[in-house]
Amino acid sequence: MTYAMIGTWRMAYEGLSKGLDLLKGGGTSGDAVESAIKKVEDYPFFKSVGYGGLPNENGLVELDSAFMSGDTFGVGAVMGISDVKNPISIARSLSHEHFNSVLVGEGASQYATKNGFERKNMLTPRAKKIWEKRKAEIAEKNLSPYDGHDTVGMVSLDQTGSMSVGTSTSGLFMKKAGRTGDSALVGDGFYVDSDIGGAAATGLGEDIMKGCLCYEIVRLMGTGLSPQEACDKALYPFLRKLKKRFGKIGEFSLVALNKDGQWGVSTNVEFTFAMGTEKEAPAVYIAYPDE
């Protein structure tokens, strides 16, 4: 059987390369996703994930992360968690639970402490400086407070045919305390079924969640569409509808991988992503809006 992995944005590349190495050596899709996302979370210069992620309007880094197994449908997620090193590991651990598998804020932090996950102040001096500068600009120029956001989302397929998906983000820069987006909401920011395939989203969570787009992509792949056809069919008609009904739309980018290792990407902005398979070495690609 083949193996493959796809991840959102250029920031996914190093982690994805590590994940692919694991898959090549017979590692599981879950281990590949977790280790790939941990690498992104640990890198202090990515401003929208993990350590170095930009804070909310109060200056606190609040992180969202989720993990889903395509074999068991186990979903684990944390939202608005602070001061933990690797939210993806907590999300994965929660995905084994039948009850209490999605935890927010203080409760998520308590779970992390109780279960021995490493605590860490996730606000870097650099992120603090960016926050201070932006706060002053917003006040001076009366700007919209919301500025900048990206999520790392990874979908992987291992040599046994098992699939997993994970996401991790600090969400919207200058978000309100307690705000969450699509990234930790199953079906919105991620979904996977090992019999079909998986998908992950990045962009403005408030809009992505309106379309339940990752579930929709997997559902469409289940009807026989290729990942590319499913991404296009889930995204573009929905964008037209949303624009007409809501009046404005944010950024949307979607990646998908099916159980045969074929992949697809749809976006309404210029979008970088990383991808690799048994046959193709990991690389970064750019996708553009198709309409």
> What amino acid positions are annotated as catalytic residues?
151
Contact 191, 218 (CB under 8 A): yes
| 172 near ligand SD4, rule: CB under 6 A | yes
Structure tokens at 8: 């959102």
Q: Is 50 in the site for ligand SD4 (CB under 6 A)?
A: no
Query: How many residues form the binding site for ligand SD4 (CB under 6 A)?
Result: 14
Closest CA to 90 of 99, 104, 72, 98: 104
CB atoms within 10 A of CB 156: 32
Burial pattern 180-202, b for ≥16 Cβ within 10 A else e, equals: bbbbbbbbbbbbbbbebbbbbbb
Distances in Å between the Cα of 159 and the Cα atoms of 28, 190, 199, 271, 275 are 8, 21, 18, 28, 16
Task: Kindly tell me which of 28 and 266 has the beta carbon lying closer to ligand SD4.
Answer: 266
Which residues in the 98-157 window bind ligand SD4 by CB under 6 A? 149-151
Query: Would you say 6 or 208 has its CB closer to ligand SD4?
Result: 208
Q: Are 68 and 165 in contact (CB under 8 A)?
A: yes
Q: Which amino acid, residue 237?
A: P
Closest distance to ligand SD4 from the beta carbon of 247 (Å): 19
Neighbouring C-beta atoms of residue 231, cutoff 10 Å? 28
Residues 178-197 that bind ligand SD4 (CB under 6 A): 181-183
Angle, CA 218 vertex, CA 215 and CA 221 arms, to 5°: 150
Q: Cα 13 to chain center, whole Å?
A: 14
Q: Binding marks (x or -) toward ligand SD4, 196..235, rule CB under 6 A?
A: ------xxxx--x---------------------------
Shortest Cβ distance from residue 39 to ligand SD4 (Å)? Answer: 18
- What's the one-letter identity of residue 49? V
Query: Minimum CB separation from ligand SD4 for residue 29, in Å?
Result: 22
77 binds ligand SD4 (CB under 6 A): no
Q: Which stretch binds ligand SD4 (CB under 6 A): 77-85, 165-173, 227-235, 272-280?
A: 165-173
Q: Which residue lies nearer to ligand SD4 by CB, 57 or 150?
A: 150
Tell the smallest beta-carbon distance from residue 228 to ligand SD4 (Å): 21
Choose one: 109-117, 166-174, 212-220, 239-247; the region binding ligand SD4 (CB under 6 A): 166-174
C-beta of 169 vs 266, nearer to ligand SD4: 169
Report, in Å, the least distance between residue 62 CB and ligand SD4: 10
Residues 40 and 16 sit within 8 Å (Cβ to Cβ): no
Query: What is the Cα–Cα distance from 127 to 2, expressed in whole angstroms?
Result: 40
Minimum CB distance to ligand SD4 smaller for 181 or for 261: 181
* Closest to 186 (Cα-Cα) out of 156, 153, 160, 162: 153
Residue with tokens 């880094």: 61
Closest by CA to 197, choosing from 215, 176, 171, is 215
Toward ligand SD4, which CB reaches closer, 49 or 218? Answer: 49
Instruction: Choose the stretch contacting ligand SD4; rule: CB under 6 A; options: 28-36, 112-120, 164-172, 235-243.
Output: 164-172
CB of 253 to ligand SD4, least distance (A): 7
The residues of the shown chain that bind ligand SD4, judged by CB under 6 A, are 149-151, 169, 171-172, 181-183, 202-205, 208
